[in-house]
Every structure is written in C-alpha cells, then in structure tokens.
C-alpha cells in the first residue's frame, strides 16, 4: 500500500490528530505560517488564538494540569518562540506535560542571523526534557510522536519541536505509525521489590512518621492509592504547594501544607519526625528552609519517578525509583501483608501533633485600614464555589492565601506556578483549564501585579466563549515583595506601589478594563458585598467575569519561615517568637 504524500505542514497536523490532540493554543507568524494553512482544515483540532505566546504556553499548562492530558502550544520563530520560554521553563519546574511546536527559518538560513531567527533549540535545551530541530519533512511524524512520548512518560515535562520553514513546505510520504527510536530513554516505572519491603519495615519500626507528599502524586494519578496508604498507616500527612488536592483537606490525618508559608503543625511535624515517607516530592528549598537542619532526626524513604531527584538534596535511606501510583500500590500490598489487619500505634505522636493543631490553628488578623481582608475574600470564593471547581493562582501573597484558605478535596483542582514562581500565570492557565474542563467552574485568583502581565487573554476568553472568573486581590502593590520590605528592609517600599486600588488614584481601572474586554466587571470594597459578587460571577456564564476586590495592603502571609533559616524558626505571626526553639 502506497503511503500518502503530504507536505511537512500537513504531516504536523495529521500527526497531532492521530495522537489524539484536540486543542492547540497559539499565534501564527511567518515561519509557522505553512502549518497554519492545513490547521484551518482540521476537524479534530480546536485552535485558540491567543494575544501573546506566553499566554499560549500557560494556557497549554492549565489545560494539561486540569485534565491530566498533554498541553500543546504553537508559535513562530524568533520572538514568537522566545515568548514561549517562560511557560516552557514553568512546565519544566512543575513537571507539566507540554508540547511546544515552533517554526524556524529555512534550513539554508540557519546561522545567518536571518529575519526572526533564534536558536530556540539551544535556548530551551536546559528547560526541556528534549528539544528537536527538524529540517526534513519525512522526519516530522517521528519527531512529533517521539516528543509526545517523552513529554507524557516518566517524569512529565515540556518537549520542543522546532521545524524549519522549508521542511513544512516540502513533501514526503507520510508513514504512520513512525518508528520511535529513543536510545537511553527508558523511564523506570515499576519499583524494586526489595526496596518496597525495606520501606514497609522502616514504616513499621518508626514512632513518628510523616507522609511528605509532593506534586508527583498528582501527576501520577495516585490520589486513591495515597488515601489507602495513609489510612493503613494512620500517620500525619502534609501536601506541598504542588500537591494541594492530592489528599482531602477534610481528612483528619491531613496537617496542611509544609514549608515557608505552611501550617505550624505541618512544618513542625516534619521537623520532629523520625521518618519521612516522601512521595513525589523533591525537598524543594521552599519546603526545607535550611536543608542541613531540615528534619534532623528523620530517616528518609524517597519515592520519585526521576532518579536524579533522589539524593540530590537529602540522603535517602530507602531510595525507590518508580511511578508513584505503582510504588504506593505495591507498598500498600506489602504493608497489608505485614500488618495483617492491625495498625501501628502512633498515639503519642498524634498527641504531640494535635497539641500543635490546638495551639497554632491557621488564621489571620483583620485589616486595620478599613479595606477587605484578602484571606476572607479567598476563603469565601472557595466556600461558595465548592470542591469541584478549579482554582488557578498567580504568584505572591494571593497564591499562598489560596493554598491556605481554600479547601481542596480532589486532585487537579489547584493550579499554580510552584517552582518558577511565574507572575502572569493565572489568567491564561485558567483559560486553558476551562477549555479542558468546560463543565467546571474555573477561577483565576490573581494579584493586581500579576493580572497586568497577561490580562490581554481576557480578549481570547471573550471571543472564544471561555467564561472564566477572575478575582483580583487588589492591594495596590506587589504584595509579597512589600511584605519582605516590611520585614527585612525597614519598611523601605522601593518600587512596589502599583496605584491600582488606592483612594486617590486607580490606574488602571480594572472594572473599565474588564468592560473593554467584553467581560462583566465588578468592584467590591465592602465586606457585605463579597458574597453577592462571587455568586453573581458564578451565575454569569455568557462572558468572563472580573471582580476587583480592594483589600488591605498591609495584610501578610503567616505562618512564615524566612528564606534560608531552619524550619524550627517558623513564626506564627509577625511579632510572635519562633514556634519552636529546636529543643525537645
């Protein structure tokens, strides 16, 4: 049978269709234009035209994080490709499966500083799992199929495929399925049986264990297995910023989020533990503080799909390389065999942990300047929206408050830029999430600083009938930077005032801006207006909604561990002494 002859551009679209891709976020330009022509004829792929390529990348991330599927973005060469770099780096840090397709100048022009030429393969090599440069049309199906396999297997992450313009225009036989040859790429998913046995024995020997759960559990879809493991052991559990929703907040074993702005019980339990059962977490500095003083008396079981993470920051007494779902499944079976229906006795440990819960509940102080409490606003958004909603946050104080005060009961309901800390993530990520999960309520919880970086994607939402809800937590400043200036720079507020919600000046006026983008704009300045505004936003589904919540600028995120110090120095409030002095 003779294979069909296609242009390289047609081969790109056909390959994506055959791989089950149904959505692409992108923006055309000269070097990718040949591919946009057959894309117009596709009956299987929905293309969403963004207003900025960074928005395409974050939208693809939001789509992937909400659905668990691959996110795809596309851009032209030069600045189009480099505008994707921030989103690619973000996906790399947070293990988001992402395929970025970029056009490149003709192969004969590479290296000549041609118009809109940039070595995007070289630029992205440190922040992708792999980057392909394709200069022949016959290589396109194999490159696309290989990219999808790499992005979605092992530790998920971004892959870039850069295709020269002449490769898109020339023709070749379209061979499907292509031969995928990835020498050296063989992710280990099944754990070693002896390591499972060793882990189970260590768990049963411990007196003060803590389950330290990271975002890898969500990427692996292992939340049900995690629940079974936690209830089998009966130990306290913490979920990192990237793992919020991997374990129900309502569960009595859940201590909340650890780290710089984690709950006191979560932070202190990790410090005082004798065993960390580390699942899909990477001992990030925002969790450990000073790594040398982190959980000093604890042995470590470390489960990760990426062997490079094990032992990178903290020595693992029992290292287990494998997919979290498979590892936890086998660990559950081994523990059931050893326990024979019994449970370990951690009553003394729970007495200590519950004492922390009683003394240091998560809370906040009301603002003294007459403005709204940002924590209260975010808490009410969560309560009125319910656990089936999706919440995408920007970066800063509002991100931490969203992680703290919204209750997450299921995975893929919390989207944020954890590793890279990318301002501007929220609106396009929420847009992508809503495209992937159109029947769910989707909120972008943003700051007035973050919102001004990518709010142009509201036009994309309006035109494409993507009715996201945007809550701007407007403190008229770069809030987290201002908090650090308050605490560590003698209240010298150098270049953090944004003038977006003060009594004398409001630039821009976010309600007018929302109206200009075809959205419903609402401003809320009084506490009694909060619930009505949120309910109106939830009920409005014929266009996006933007709510400008004017909140107190001096509100701070507590608890807090200052950067680089021991987690023993966690402070419950600004003027409070450290919770623990490091002594038993």
Catalytic residue numbers read 53, 115-116, 165, 480
Q: 10 Å Cβ neighbour count for 315? A: 11
Q: How far apart are CA 583 and CA 251, in angstroms?
A: 30
Q: Which tokens is 265 given?
A: 């019980």
For residue 321, the surrounding DSSP H or E stretch is strand 318-321
DSSP 8-state secondary structure symbol assigned to residue 152: H
Please, are residues 514 and 334 in contact by the beta-carbon 8 Å criterion?
Answer: no
Closest CA to 229 of 308, 330, 146, 148: 330
Please, are residues 289 and 565 in contact by the beta-carbon 8 Å criterion?
Answer: yes
Q: What is the per-residue DSSP string for 274-290?
A: SEEEEES----HHHHSS
Q: What is the per-residue DSSP string for 356-399?
A: HHHHS----PPPSSSSBPHHHHHHHHHHHH-TTSEEEE-SSHHH
Q: What is the per-residue DSSP string for 249-268?
A: TTSTTEEE--STT--HHHHH
Closest CA to 537 of 521, 517, 556: 521
Beta-bridge partners for 256: 238
Distance of CA 232 to the CA centre of its chain: 29
Please, are residues 152 and 96 in contact by the beta-carbon 8 Å criterion?
Answer: no
In the block, which residue shows the tokens 């509201």? Answer: 458
Q: How far apart are CA 1 and CA 3, in angstroms?
A: 6
Q: 10 Å Cβ neighbour count for 403? A: 26
Residue 486, judged by CB atoms within 10 A of its CB (0-12, 13-18, 19+), counts as: middle
User: Looking only at Cα atoms, what is the longest distance across the chain?
Assistant: 78
Q: How far apart are CA 27 and CA 74, in angstroms?
A: 7
Q: What share of the chain is helix, strand, coil (3-state, %, to 5)?
A: 40, 15, 40
Distance of CA 84 to the CA centre of its chain: 16
Give the side-chain half-sphere CA count within 13 A for 442.
Answer: 30
Beta-bridge partners for 547: 471, 522
Q: How far apart are CA 444 and CA 430, in angstroms?
A: 6
Please, are residues 281 and 287 in contact by the beta-carbon 8 Å criterion?
Answer: yes
């Amino acid at each position: 049978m003779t294979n069909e002859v296609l242009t390289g551009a047609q081969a790109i679209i056909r390959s994506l269709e055959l791989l089950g891709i149904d959505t692409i976020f992108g923006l055309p330009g000269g070097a990718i234009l040949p591919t946009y022509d057959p894309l117009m004829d596709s009956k299987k792929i929905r293309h969403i035209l963004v207003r900025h390529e960074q928005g395409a990348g974050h939208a693809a991330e939001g789509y992937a994080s909400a659905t668990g599927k691959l996110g795809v973005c596309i851009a032209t060469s030069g600045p189009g490709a480099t505008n994707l770099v921030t989103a690619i780096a973000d996906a790399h840090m947070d293990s988001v499966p992402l395929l970025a397709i970029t056009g490149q100048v003709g192969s004969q022009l590479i290296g000549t500083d041609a118009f809109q030429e940039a070595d995007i393969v070289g630029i992205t090599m440190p922040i992708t799992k792999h980057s392909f440069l394709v200069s022949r049309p016959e290589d396109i199906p194999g490159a696309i199929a290989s990219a999808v396999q790499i992005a979605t297997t092992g530790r998920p992450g971004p892959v870039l495929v850069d295709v020269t313009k002449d490769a898109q225009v020339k023709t070749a036989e379209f061979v499907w399925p292509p031969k995928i040859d990835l020498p050296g790429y063989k992710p280990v998913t099944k754990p070693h049986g002896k390591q499972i046995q060793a882990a189970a024995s260590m768990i049963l020997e411990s007196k003060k264990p803590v389950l330290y759960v990271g975002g890898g559990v969500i990427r692996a879809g292992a939340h049900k297995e995690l629940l079974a493991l936690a209830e089998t052991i009966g130990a306290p559990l913490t979920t990192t910023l990237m793992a919020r929703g991997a374990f129900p907040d309502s569960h009595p074993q859940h201590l909340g989020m650890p780290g710089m702005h984690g709950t006191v019980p979560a932070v202190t339990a990790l410090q005082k533990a004798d065993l960390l059962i580390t699942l899909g977490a990477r001992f990030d500095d925002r969790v450990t503080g000073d790594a040398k003083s982190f959980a000093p008396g604890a042995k470590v079981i470390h489960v990760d799909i990426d062997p490079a993470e094990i032992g990178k920051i903290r020595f693992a007494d029992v290292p287990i390389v494998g997919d979290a779902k498979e590892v936890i499944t086998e660990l559950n079976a081994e523990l059931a065999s050893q326990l024979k229906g019994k449970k370990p006795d951690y009553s003394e440990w729970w007495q200590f942990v519950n004492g922390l819960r009683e003394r240091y509940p998560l809370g906040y102080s009301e603002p003294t300047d007459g403005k709204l409490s940002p924590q209260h606003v975010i808490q009410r958004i969560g309560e009125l929206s319910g656990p089936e909603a999706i919440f995408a946050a920007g970066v800063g104080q509002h991100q931490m408050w969203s992680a703290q005060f919204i209750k997450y009961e299921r995975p893929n309901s919390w989207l944020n830029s954890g590793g890279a800390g990318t301002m501007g993530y929220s609106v396009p990520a929420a847009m992508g999430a809503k495209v992937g999960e159109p029947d769910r309520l989707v909120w972008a919880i943003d700051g007035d600083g973050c919102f001004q970086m990518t709010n142009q994607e509201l036009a994309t939402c309006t035109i494409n009938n993507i009715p996201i809800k945007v809550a701007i937590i407007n403190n008229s400043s770069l809030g987290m930077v201002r908090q650090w200036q308050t605490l560590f720079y003698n209240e010298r507020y150098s270049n953090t005032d944004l003038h977006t919600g003060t009594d004398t000046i409001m630039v821009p006026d976010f309600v007018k801006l929302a109206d200009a983008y075809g959205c419903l704009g609402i401003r809320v300045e009084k506490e009694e207006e909060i619930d009505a505004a949120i309910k109106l936003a939830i009920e409005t589904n014929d266009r996006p909604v933007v709510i400008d919540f004017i909140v107190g600028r001096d509100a701070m995120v507590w608890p807090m561990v200052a950067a680089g110090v021991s987690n023993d120095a966690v402070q419950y409030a600004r003027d409070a002494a450290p919770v623990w002095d490091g002594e038993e």
